[in-house]
Structure 1
Amino acid sequence: MTLIARLDSRALVRVAGPDARLFLHNLLTQDVEGLGEGELRFGALLSPPGRLLFDLFLWGEGDGVTLDVAADRRDGLIQRLSMYRLRAKVEIAADDRAVFTAWGEGPPAPGFVADPRLPGLGWRGLSAADPTADEPAWRAHELAHGVPGTPDSPPDKDYPIEANFDLLNGIDFAKGCFIGQETTSRMKRRGAIKNRMLPIRFDGPPPAFGAEVLLDGDRRAGEVRGGIDGRAMALLRLDRIDGLLTVDGRPIAVERPGWLLG
């Protein structure tokens, strides 16, 4: 059975015009010049120091690109893109269509495209569809696959590699320059990645956002991000995930998806 949910937490921004693809290509972590009609890619807009500002899905549509972004960050994205526009021949505007996602067994509904982050995660679509599930169910599905979402990364806090963008097809390291590229490429090149987001399991409701994860009762191992009953994402030090981990005195278990830690 295929489940479909409308994602009211997401909104769209349309970037159109003769320079649309080149304009975005020079800003985002993803290759935009090669984005085909109807194709979907995952990427981000970073701050100049290389921290994550906006996670994005990019749809190739007509003479431009439609960006799928967190609804509460759409105005900020439009403002940021407008600041970079300068003399580029582009138009940037909100798009009122809704975002849908689908997952489960069987083929997706017409108009849906495979989620580019992880095989088997599901599909996304912009065409109107009849929901058969709600957004919390989709969030639970993402967490079950160990995939972080927008609620797990406040703007300008994390590096994209810490949020696993390099493993979720969110960074094209061969595309050339993008904002924040120097820091991102250096982290990847040196292989000195100390922190990553990992899913954690526990009993009961999720700990508060930012709650400290402790190793053996007294060594800081990271902090909890967004979650649901029984499962959450946490930004953890990779050298401190083996041993007794607790949050607010509660034991937690780190899940290690095969796609993440091989």
Structure 2
Amino acid sequence: MTTWLQFLADQGAGFDEAAGGELTGFGAAAAPSSFMAPLTDLGLIAVSGEEGAQFLHNQLTNDVEHLGSGEARLAGYCSPKGRLLATLLMWKAEAGIMLQLPKALQPAIQKRLQMFVLRAKAKLADAVDEAVAIGLAGQQAQDALGNLFPQLPAADYAKVDAPAGSLIRMPDAFNVPRYLWITRPETAQQAWPTLSASVPPAAPSLWRRSQIAAGIPQITPATQDQFVPQMVNFELVGGVNFRKGCYPGQEIVARSQYLGKLKRRMMRAEVDAAEVRAGMEIFAASDPDQPCGMVVNAEPNDRGGADCLVEIKLALAEAGIRLGTASGPEVRLAAVPYPVTEPA
């Protein structure tokens, strides 16, 4: 157990060893309107070297070469078939360009990227022990962060740097502001007593649920190589730049954007079932013999069910949708909180 994890355990955090050491919370569940969650489920890759940005620019779906120091960007890493192997959040730091992704995916993605470095002057390193990530949401969290940062980022994915670390404004969810704080473990430990006095600590699952509410997909081991970016609205949330140069799968991603109308999209959903997992298939009553889509992300909610993001055939989105089989639990669909536009 790292020093950071041991510190969280000392603060009352519980860990589920059967789930790979997942942090399960700090006792009473926090209300979604205000919480801070140590994101111990996320990994971090530092890409350094004078050609690090150029190397990533040729691998990811978004523009890396023009990534500014005052912003973060979503990006995807695709297979040659244009299917997402990972979704990442990237930003610049002193150690290079940082790539945040699920810890369960990091070893394989880092190894795969390393294979393509070849002669490029770029180096990849695991940075998860050097920086910790904490997701904070709500007005109380915003007020508390004002004591750590001279100014807070206002626009989505804007970033500010200070002695306390880096702070990234994330899209709102649950009608409250959200922030991603990246800092050194010792800084987080020093700030924890004051922060936790006004902002209830929570499990990473609550932050993931807020990501679902914001309509931001996260590729996990169960959904790797399943979706072209547009199938999970990834270009709508800023994860794809169609004006940049080539990257693995770029031709297929571009073809999906410009040739014909998109037939599959991602929607929010709620299911009255506790056991809902990414990768589970969904079915329409009008076509019960074959799946019409797949669960992208799912997290338990406070109503005994699960909040989800689901990828679905648009032609069947009005039909009765069920989980697992055509007679499974009802999947109640809802719109994502941003415009869903067709390619021009």
Q: TM-score, normalization: structure 1?
A: 0.89
Report the Cα offset of residue 94 of structure 1. 0.6
Residue 3 of structure 1, CA deviation: 2.5
Name which of structure 1's ranges 147-156 and 49-58 shifts more when overlaid on structure 2: 147-156
Q: CA deviation at 1:38?
A: 4.8
User: How big is each residue's C-alpha offset from its partner over 1:202-232, in whole Å with a ceiling of 9 and x where there is no partner?
Assistant: 3231445423322347364323343222322
Q: Which residue of 2 aligns with 1:231?
A: 307
TM-score by length of 2: 0.69
Q: CA–CA distance in 1 between the matches of 2:98 and 2:109?
A: 12
Q: Does the 8 Å CA contact 2:46/2:95 hold for their aligned counterparts?
A: no
Is the Cα–Cα contact under 8 Å of residues 72 and 90 in structure 2 kept in the other structure?
yes
| Structure with greater Cα Rg | 2
Shift in Å at residue 117 of structure 1? 9.7
For residues 221 and 139 of structure 1, the distance between their equivalents in structure 2, rounded to whole angstroms, comes to 24
Alpha-carbon contact 1:29-1:178 (below 8 Å) kept: yes
Which amino acid counterpart does residue 313 of structure 2 have in structure 1?
R
Residue in 1 that maps onto 2:266: 197
The equivalent of 2:280 in structure 1 is 210
Q: Calculate the aligned-residue CA RMSD, in Å.
A: 2.6
SS at match of 1:261: coil
- What is the aligned partner in structure 1 of residue 77 from structure 2? 45
Deviation, structure 1 residue 168: 0.8
Change in Cα spacing, 1:194 to 1:75, as seen in structure 2 (3 Å) is same
Q: Would the aligned equivalents of 1:2 and 1:108 in 2 still touch at CA under 8 Å?
A: no
Q: Distance in 2 between matches of 1:181 and 1:108?
A: 42
Contact 1:5 1:135 in 2 (8 A): yes
Going from structure 1 to structure 2, the CA distance change for 1:191 and 1:116 (only over 3 Å counts) comes to: farther
Greater Cα shift, 21-30 or 98-107:
98-107
**Is 2:205 aligned against 1:146?**
no
Q: What does the per-residue CA deviation read over 1:76-134, in whole Å, with 9 as the maximum and x for residues that have no partner? A: 12211111111111111111222222222235733311127999762222114336222
**Segment of structure 1 superposing worse, 119-128 or 229-238:** 119-128
Q: Provide structure 2 residue ranges, at least 5 long, that are not aligned to the other structure.
A: 1-32, 150-165
Deviates more, 1:149-158 or 1:23-32: 149-158
- The count of residues paired between Structure 1 and Structure 2 equals 262
Amino acid at match of 1:212: I
1:259: how far off? 0.9
Q: Pick closer, same or farther for the CA change 1:10–1:63 going to 2, 3 Å.
A: closer
Partner SS for 1:172 = coil
Distance 1:107 1:179 in 2: 42
Unaligned runs of 5+ residues in structure 1 are none
Amino acid at match of 1:102: L
